[in-house]
């Protein structure tokens, strides 16, 4: 029996299609009076922005832009998500998910990835705290998005007024911390602080998004993102109120731009493939998997081509070749594409452009198959891999100042957020099993000695006795082996911690307004 379509009026719009925004704030709270909070939430549910509302807003913005009259919608979008601690207070803690229950701190400290000394105070226990007591964790987060600062402030005021946060006699919430992000200005709009176009290649959800074009990643089942739908690994195990909700991961990533630029310049000068004019830019692109414009390295490995920005019709095949996208590039680690499929072609096909130019690649009559391992699948998969996430973050911090040419002195980076129906199959797997695993993607013969390497941007050592990160690259001389570029401790991205939340549907929120019968 076919799965019911996702109800756009029931889901929170920050999950899908996204909230239109130039500014976005994250307001982390603890519930101080449960009974008052239930009453306040009941009054506030109508202010939660739905998927349908966001879809209509985005459509209006697109129509105006196509007509040559760009507009900004003067409205704030508001969503809300809860930690396991918050659900416990509301007597709705039936979600059986070990990672969600213990939260990001215990999860990634246990994994060995996060370093307690680098975490922000709001994301770790206070000094001398009992390790078995996690009451320090926040209960919920309101996400407020807006087209400008004025509307952002109005949205924040709606939250603060409705929950009486200024009136100590009526308050149901106490603020833990507020974090404010905004898109970068001018030509940098849509790019993170290293300069790369962000939010490219989001999963296309069956029943919500357009069908992918040839050679683009396949559609993903709605249950990869939304609880209770086909693809949700625990579809029949979650409580009824969780239907069409989604798990939210929030994580603060501080970006150290001068340190990154220095590393790239120094490393490029030592590798033939990256020497000469624009060599550092090329190395940075190969580490990311896309040029700063967004053009995929898999389609244009040697120079940026802005005409290919946002292109998604590639899949890294021939997947044994080191002439195109490095095996451990960030974009490839996070979305392996054909690394989970049969191989097609070889380096000769790559050089001739059979794979770098989609117009020359006839998917109806592919080249001879070249087996890559004994575990090659017998046929192409008919759906996308389950380990996909919807990314919905925003940049924060000031633009780089004149006093920061050599060293970062101000905090800037990304408030990374993502949604999935299972944190272990989503964020946790991508972070700990893919990004920080030097042998993933597997079966890369030309990187056999060292392995593909680690994600150059978000890798973390899982244990102190593990080697520091590296990435295997084509050196520009010998295409039969890779060059091992040591990453050291990757000092250009400082991972400051975060938290795991659950984002209920609109109907699910109504369950929180009542005590259990």
Residue with tokens 């500014």: 23
Q: Indicate if 155 and 37 belong to the same structural domain.
A: yes
Tell me what the mean pLDDT of segment 65-72 comes to: 82
- pLDDT score for 365: 42
Q: Indicate if 246 and 264 belong to the same structural domain.
A: no
Query: Has residue 429 been placed in a domain?
Result: no
Asked whether 473 and 326 are in contact (CB, 8 A), the reply is: yes
- pLDDT score for 343: 63
Q: Which two tokens stand for residue 75?
A: 């409205």
Q: Indicate if 176 and 31 belong to the same structural domain.
A: yes
Strand-strand pairing, 469-473 and 483-488: antiparallel
- Nearest-angstrom CA–CA distance, 481 and 69: 52
List the single range of 249-253, 416-420, 441-445 with lowest mean pLDDT. 441-445
Q: Which two tokens stand for residue 450?
A: 């060292």
Confidence grade of residue 275 (pLDDT, cut at 50, 70, 90): very high
Q: Indicate if 156 and 266 belong to the same structural domain.
A: no
Q: Which two tokens stand for residue 457?
A: 């941007």
Q: Which two tokens stand for residue 458?
A: 């978000």
**How many domains is the chain built from?**
2
Q: Indicate if 144 and 234 belong to the same structural domain.
A: yes
Confidence grade of residue 318 (pLDDT, cut at 50, 70, 90): confident
List the single range of 90-94, 291-295, 359-363, 378-382 with lowest mean pLDDT. 359-363
Report whether pLDDT(10) > 90. Answer: yes
Query: Has residue 396 been placed in a domain?
Result: no
Q: Indicate if 472 and 384 belong to the same structural domain.
A: yes
Q: Indicate if 136 and 245 belong to the same structural domain.
A: yes
Query: Has residue 357 been placed in a domain?
Result: yes
Q: Indicate if 189 and 311 belong to the same structural domain.
A: no
Query: Has residue 481 been placed in a domain?
Result: yes
**Distances in Å between the alpha carbon of 412 and those of 108, 256, 387?**
22, 8, 28
Cis before residue 17, ω within 30 degrees of 0?
A: yes
Range of the domain at 153: 23-253+497-511
Q: What is the mean pLDDT of the chain?
A: 89
Q: Indicate if 83 and 130 belong to the same structural domain.
A: yes
**DSSP at 155:** H
Q: What are phi and psi of 394, to 5 degrees?
A: -155, 155
Q: Indicate if 208 and 305 belong to the same structural domain.
A: no
Query: Has residue 290 been placed in a domain?
Result: yes
Tell me the pLDDT tens digit for each residue of 195-237: 999 989 999 999 999 999 888 898 999 999 999 999 999 998 9
Tell me the pLDDT tens digit for each residue of 125-173: 999 888 888 999 999 999 999 999 999 999 999 999 999 999 999 999 9
Q: Indicate if 272 and 317 belong to the same structural domain.
A: yes
Query: Has residue 226 been placed in a domain?
Result: yes
CA 101 to chain CA centroid, Å, is 21
Strand-strand pairing, 394-396 and 413-420: antiparallel
- pLDDT score for 1: 45
Confidence grade of residue 76 (pLDDT, cut at 50, 70, 90): confident
Residue 103, classed as helix, strand or coil, is helix
**DSSP at 51:** H
Tell me what the mean pLDDT of segment 303-323 comes to: 91
Q: Indicate if 243 and 106 belong to the same structural domain.
A: yes
Q: What are phi and psi of 262, to 5 degrees?
A: -65, -45
- Nearest-angstrom CA–CA distance, 260 and 284: 9
Query: Has residue 470 been placed in a domain?
Result: yes
Tell me what the mean pLDDT of segment 441-464 comes to: 85
């Amino acid at each position: 029996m076919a799965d019911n379509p996702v109800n756009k009026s029931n889901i929170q719009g920050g999950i899908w299609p996204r909230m239109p925004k130039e500014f976005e704030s994250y307001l982390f709270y603890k519930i101080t009076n449960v009974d008052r909070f239930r009453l306040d939430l009941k009054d506030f549910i109508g202010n939660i922005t739905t998927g349908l509302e966001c879809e209509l807003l985005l459509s209006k913005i697109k129509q105006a832009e196509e007509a040559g009259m760009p507009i900004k919608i003067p409205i704030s979008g508001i969503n809300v998500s809860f930690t396991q601690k918050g659900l416990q207070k509301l007597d709705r803690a039936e979600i059986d998910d070990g990672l969600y229950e213990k939260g990001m701190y215990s999860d990634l400290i246990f994994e060995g990835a996060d370093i307690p000394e680098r975490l922000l105070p709001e994301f770790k226990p206070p000094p001398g705290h009992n390790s078995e007591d996690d009451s320090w964790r926040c209960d919920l987060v309101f996400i407020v998005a807006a087209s400008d600062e004025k509307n952002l402030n109005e949205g924040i005021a709606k939250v603060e007024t409705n929950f009486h946060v200024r009136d100590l006699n009526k308050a149901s919430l106490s603020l833990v911390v507020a974090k404010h992000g905004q898109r970068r200005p001018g030509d940098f709009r849509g790019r993170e602080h290293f300069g790369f176009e962000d939010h490219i290649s989001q999963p296309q959800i069956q029943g919500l998004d357009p069908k992918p074009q040839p050679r683009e990643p396949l559609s993903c089942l709605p249950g990869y993102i939304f609880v209770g739908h086909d693809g949700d690994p625990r579809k029949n195990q979650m409580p009824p109120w969780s239907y069409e909700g989604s798990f939210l991961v929030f994580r603060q990533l501080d970006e150290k731009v001068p340190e990154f630029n220095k590393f790239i310049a120094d490393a490029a000068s030592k590798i033939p493939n990256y020497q000469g004019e624009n060599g550092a830019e090329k190395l940075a692109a190969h580490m990311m998997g896309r040029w700063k414009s967004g053009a995929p390295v898999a389609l244009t490995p040697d120079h940026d081509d802005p005409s290919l920005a946002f292109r998604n019709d590639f899949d890294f095949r021939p997947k044994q070749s080191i002439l195109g996208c490095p095996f451990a590039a960030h974009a490839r680690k996070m979305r392996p594409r054909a690394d989970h499929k049969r191989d097609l072609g070889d380096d000769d096909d790559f050089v001739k452009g059979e794979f770098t130019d989609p117009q020359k690649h006839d998917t109806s009559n592919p080249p001879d198959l070249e087996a890559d391992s004994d575990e090659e699948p017998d046929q192409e998969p008919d759906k996308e891999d389950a380990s996909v996430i919807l990314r919905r973050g925003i940049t924060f911090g000031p633009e780089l100042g004149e006093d920061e040419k050599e060293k970062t002195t101000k905090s800037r980076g990304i408030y990374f957020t993502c949604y999935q129906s299972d944190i272990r199959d989503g964020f946790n797997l991508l972070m700990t099993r893919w990004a920080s695993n030097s042998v993933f993607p597997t079966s890369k013969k030309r990187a056999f000695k060292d392995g593909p390497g680690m994600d150059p941007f978000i890798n973390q050592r899982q244990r102190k006795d593990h080697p520091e990160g590296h990435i295997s690259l084509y050196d520009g001389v010998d295409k039969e082996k890779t060059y091992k570029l040591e990453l050291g401790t990757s000092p250009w991205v400082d991972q400051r911690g975060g938290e795991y939340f659950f984002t209920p549907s609109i109907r699910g929120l109504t369950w929180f307004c009542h005590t259990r019968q």
